[in-house]
Amino acid sequence: MLAAIRSASIVGIDAFDVCVEVDVASGLPHWTLVGLPAGEVKESRERVTAALSNSGFPVPPRRVTVSLSPGDTRKAGTGFDLPIAVGLLVALGEIPIDAVNELVFLGELGLDGAIRGVRGALSVARHLSDQTTRALVLPPANVDEAGLVRCVPLVAPSTLRDLVDALRSGVLINATPGERTTTESDDTDFADVVGQESAKRALEIAAAGGHACLLIGPPGAGKTMLARRLPSILPALTEDEALEVTAIHSVAGLLSSSGLRLSARPFRAPHHSISSAGLVGGGGVPRPGEVSLAHHGVLFLDELLEFPRSALEALRQPLEDGRVTIARAALSVAFPARFSLIAAMNPCPCGNAGEPTRTCTCGESEIVRYRSRLSGPLTDRIDMHVTLGAVSPQLLQHPSDGEASLAIRGRVEASRAVQRRRYASLPTAVRCNAHASGRWLLSHGAIDREAKALVTSAMESLKLSARGYHRVLRVGRTIADLEGSVAVSTDHVAEALRYRPR
């Protein structure tokens, strides 16, 4: 007897249909699983047979063949336990075949028959939203997450036995997602930041134009504090962006079982001991890395020069394309990775160089060697270098009356709207000034003749490369957009020039 059960699997953060066929035939007891299963899928045999037997449905000694199609795509995850078990029960005549029509099954089985949560349920629900489906049968632990996609009915039995009873009786009770817990931004606000006005200005420009930014300053200058507040001035996430961000965290297994929807822009701050795979994604079954967890948000790399060079070089692709592609023998997986990069470093190994009230203990050659590590493929992609001084103790005693993030965000959103209109006819990878090519800006960016002349003359004094030249144009364009100015003037590029390394 043959049964075909609908299920789904994930590549990157996108789900695709999988048909689970189960055939039970007479012959010597044997279990065959085909269709490019990953290790954890192969192990489903042990979980499924134990769960069935402990739920009162011992698998008779027959020849069992399980086939996952399409057969040429690798299947990962533990979510096939449930469709395989249901397929077996249909094939054995325990569940009427009509009972599983237009149902999609996803879930891991405990040996006792409990239906356990899986990764990526939100992606499966998103995938099913434009298909004809009676319901998605999934673990109770994934209901809140999958429920974010409102149009897909969910059924969430807690045990295999409950599921069989429901399918036999034909009464499927829809699960209701719990209260939508959301992560609002954690109260960080630029109003709390004492002093550092020029750094705040720089971060406003970075937020407005999507520019990568390097903060250089001594310990205690507030680099981390400033970076942590960048999400609070970025435009609010749209509904679609929030779902996409939540789906990435779901695939990474980082969504709490309470069905968190990430409604604030992510802020990721990996330690410099992270591997390249941890940073950009990887693994036998590719998982998203920090760059994808920071999608639509902020990736903060503190102590930039301590990161291994290989990890920093791996950042080039996502910085350029807004996505990461991980190639494996059986599949190539792409994860979205469009993030704002904020990096931070000390001015010298001891951290005190350039501070009037502190003593730098580093030798000149030591500082030169330290700084030279900056010239790399990554720093070449950082539009803005911002130098911060230590905050004076007198200033710290005053309660801050800095401008609130909400007001800054208003200006950022207005300038982003101008940029979206400007780049509307270009490929979707280009939506803000940071992604525009210097050449395009030179001819279409409304840059004054005097402004161009100023940057050209600065090329010599600052030893700007052609890339550096384009960087100044991009940042200058953003400064003009923040001001609501159609043309980029000498004032705008003069400010942009301050963000070139000395």
Residue with smaller CB distance to Zn ion, 371 or 381 = 371
Q: Indicate the residue among 198 and 361 with the shorter CB distance to Zn ion.
A: 361
Smallest gap from Cβ 370 to Zn ion, in A, equals 8
449: three-class secondary structure by DSSP? helix
Structure-block tokens of residue 122: 């939100």
What minimum distance in Å lies between the beta carbon of 442 and Zn ion? 39
Q: 314-353: which residues touch Zn ion (CB under 5 A)? A: 348, 350, 352-353
Taking the complex as a whole, how short is the minimal distance between the CB of residue 364 and Zn ion, in angstroms?
Answer: 10
- Please calculate the CA angle 464-203-348 and round it to the nearest 5 degrees: 60
C-alpha span between 217 and 225 (Å, rounded): 13
Task: Pick the closer one to Zn ion by CB: 152 or 362.
Answer: 362
Contact assessment for residue 169 and residue 102, using Cβ atoms and an 8 Å cutoff: no
User: Which CB, 366 or 413, lies closer to Zn ion?
Assistant: 366
Which residues inside 354-413 make contact with Zn ion, applying CB under 5 A? Answer: 360, 362
Identity of the residue, 230 or 362, whose beta carbon is nearer to Zn ion in the bound complex = 362
Query: Cβ of residue 342: shortest distance to Zn ion, in angstroms?
Result: 23
Closest by alpha carbon to 346, among 331, 334, 332, 361? 361
Q: With contact defined as beta carbons under 8 Å apart, do 22 and 85 qualify?
A: no
CB 235, CB 254: distance < 8 Å: no
Alpha-carbon torsion (451, 201, 218, 397), positive or negative: positive
203 and 224 Cβ atoms separated by less than 8 Å: no
Q: In sequence order, which residues have a C-beta less than 8 Å from that of residue 441 and are 6 or more positions away?
A: 433, 447, 470, 473, 474, 477
Using the structure block, give the residue that is written with the tokens 């330690």: 271
Question: Strands, DSSP E only, in 111-238?
Answer: 115-116, 135-137, 154-155, 213-216
Question: Is 368 or 487 the residue whose CB approaches Zn ion more closely?
Answer: 368
Query: Closest separation between CB of residue 368 and Zn ion, Å?
Result: 12
CA torsion 26-17-288-430 (nearest 10°) is 160
Q: Which is nearer to Zn ion, 218 or 270 (CB)?
A: 218
Helix H or strand E segment including 455: helix 449-461
User: How far are the Cα atoms of 140, 396, 440, 443, 481 from residue 422, in angstroms, in the given order?
Assistant: 46, 42, 11, 13, 11
Binding mask 148-177 for Zn ion (x = CB under 5 A): ------------------------------
Contact (Cβ atoms closer than 8 angstroms) between residue 497 and residue 481: no
Specify the residue, 51 or 362, whose C-beta has the smaller distance to Zn ion: 362
Which is nearer to Zn ion, 314 or 353 (by Cβ)? 353
Q: Compare residues 32 and 372 and give the one whose CB is closer to Zn ion.
A: 372
**Which burial class, exposed, middle or buried, applies to 31 when counting CB atoms under 10 A from its CB (0-12, 13-18, 19+)?**
middle
Minimum CB distance to Zn ion smaller for 352 or for 419? 352
- DSSP-derived secondary structure for 407-437: HHHHHHHHHHHHHHHHTTTS-TT--SGGGS-
Token output for 78: 């533990």
**Could you say which residues in the range 103-132 bind Zn ion, by CB under 5 A?**
none
If binding means CB under 5 A, how many residues of this protein chain bind Zn ion? Answer: 6
315 or 348, CB closer to Zn ion?
348
Nearest approach in angstroms of CB 222 to Zn ion is: 19
- Nearest approach, Cβ of 444 to Zn ion (angstroms)? 44
Q: Is 216 in the site for Zn ion (CB under 5 A)?
A: no
Smallest distance from Zn ion to CB 363, Å:
9
Closest approach, Cβ 241 to Zn ion, in A, equals: 42
In whole angstroms, how close is the CB of 360 to Zn ion at the nearest point?
Answer: 3
Name, in order, each residue with C-beta under 8 angstroms of 410's C-beta and a sequence gap of 6 or more: none
What is the 8-class DSSP label of residue 29?
Answer: -
SS3 379: helix
Exposed, middle or buried, 434 (CB in 10 Å: 0-12/13-18/19+)? buried
Closest CB to Zn ion among residues 51, 353:
353
- Residue 219 CB, shortest distance to Zn ion, in Å, is 11
Min CB(202)–Zn ion separation in Å? 23
Smallest distance, Zn ion to C-beta of residue 221, A: 14
Residue 466 CA to residue 33 CA, distance in Å, equals 57
What is the binding site for Zn ion (CB under 5 A)?
A: 348, 350, 352-353, 360, 362
